[in-house]
Each structure stands twice: as C-alpha cells, then as structure tokens.
Amino acid sequence: MIVCSCNVLSDHDVRNAVSAADDVLRHAKQVYGCLGCSMECGRCARTIKTIIDEALGVCARVCHAGCPHSGTASHGAVEDEFALAAS
C-alpha cells in the first residue's frame, strides 16, 4: 500500500527501513532520511509513525537506555525488568 504519494513510499518501504536501520527510527523524518527523500506535504506522517510503532513492537512502548537497540542489553533483560516490576 502506498503511504506517501509525494515520494511514492509503500508500507513495505517503511517497514524495511525500520528493520534495516542501525539506529532505532522513531519519526517519519528519520525514515525519509534512510530512504533518501524528505517529507513534502506531511499527510503521511501519522501513518508512517503507526507503521514504525508496529514494526518496533514491544520496543516502541518500552525502549530506553537498556534497550537492545542501544547496544547495552538484550530484549530478555528488558522483559525481565518489567516482569520483576509487575511482581
């Protein structure tokens, strides 16, 4: 599905950019940068943000300094921390 008609970007393009990026992409502007384009009209920003959140999964909600994307901990450690806090 085309999510950005100005740059002809599909939802697959956005998901691929998020999964292939070395750093965590959290904003549409970052996705555009990875894909070598820039935001034009901005109508797609919310849709792209939704796709980013879906692609990141649990990290979209709990990512912090100990997140595996920061290179300092594993996903298991983040999940264990939240499990202990819930106990």
Same domain, 39 and 77: no
Same domain, 26 and 49: yes
Confidence of residue 76 (pLDDT cuts 50, 70, 90): very low
CA distances from 69 to 18, 23, 25, 42, 73 (A): 12, 7, 10, 27, 8
* 6 token code pair: 């100005």
How far, rounded to the nearest angstrom, does the alpha carbon of residue 2 sit from its chain's CA centroid? 18
Backbone φ, ψ for residue 16 (5° rounding): -65, -40
Domain with residue 42: its CATH number is 1.10.10
Same domain, 10 and 48: yes
Range of the domain at 44: 1-56
Same domain, 48 and 12: yes
Question: What value does the mean pLDDT take over residues 50-58?
Answer: 84
Confidence of residue 11 (pLDDT cuts 50, 70, 90): very high
